[in-house]
Amino acid sequence: MKAIVYTSNAGSTARYAKLLAHETGLPVYSAQEAKKQLPAREEILYLGWVMAGGIRGWQEAAKRFRVCAVCGVGMCQTGTQVQELREKNAIPGEIPLFTLQGSFDLEKLHGVYKMMMKIMVKSLAQKEARTPEEEDMLDMLEHGGDRVRFENLKAVLDWYSAGRGAHL
């Protein structure tokens, strides 16, 4: 694997990409930079932010590069919703998929995104029986929160250290 490429909206994905770059020694590029700096079909680790179950930028990255693994950064807890994201984004089973919990600040959102999240907060708050994950998400939605943590990268770093990322 030659590089880490990411698409970020509020900064959580960029922070995770930089943490991974520091740990692996791989260069890190935003998707825009990668288009200019990396040759087509280069082997990469891709990170994208999650909105409405979609990993932003994944399809474009898959068309241009050889994606060795994908990390989806969103509001759900690290390590959860992997199967749902794999199916919704049509990520082949042979490509490892990791989920990472990011940060959220409603006040940083604008326009339709802010409106959508207000509706999501109201809907989740009205739900009578919430799972612990939903409680965590509701807390994050209502109060904001920064859940970007180095320890959330354990599974990704274990995969990389086991040589799965290095030999492709």
pTM (two decimals): 0.88
Q: What is the biggest distance separating any 2 CA atoms in the chain, rounded to whole angstroms?
A: 51
Judge whether 1 and 166 are in contact, CB under 8 Å: yes
Phi, psi of 63 (to 5 degrees): -75, -35
Res. 141 pLDDT band, cuts 50 70 90: confident
pLDDT in tens, 26-75: 999 999 999 999 999 999 999 999 988 999 999 999 999 999 999 999 98
- Rounded to whole angstroms, how far apart are CA atoms 11 and 30? 11
Q: Angle, to 10 degrees, between the axis of helix 12-24 and the axis of helix 154-161?
A: 30
Q: How many CB atoms lie within 10 A of CB 65?
A: 23
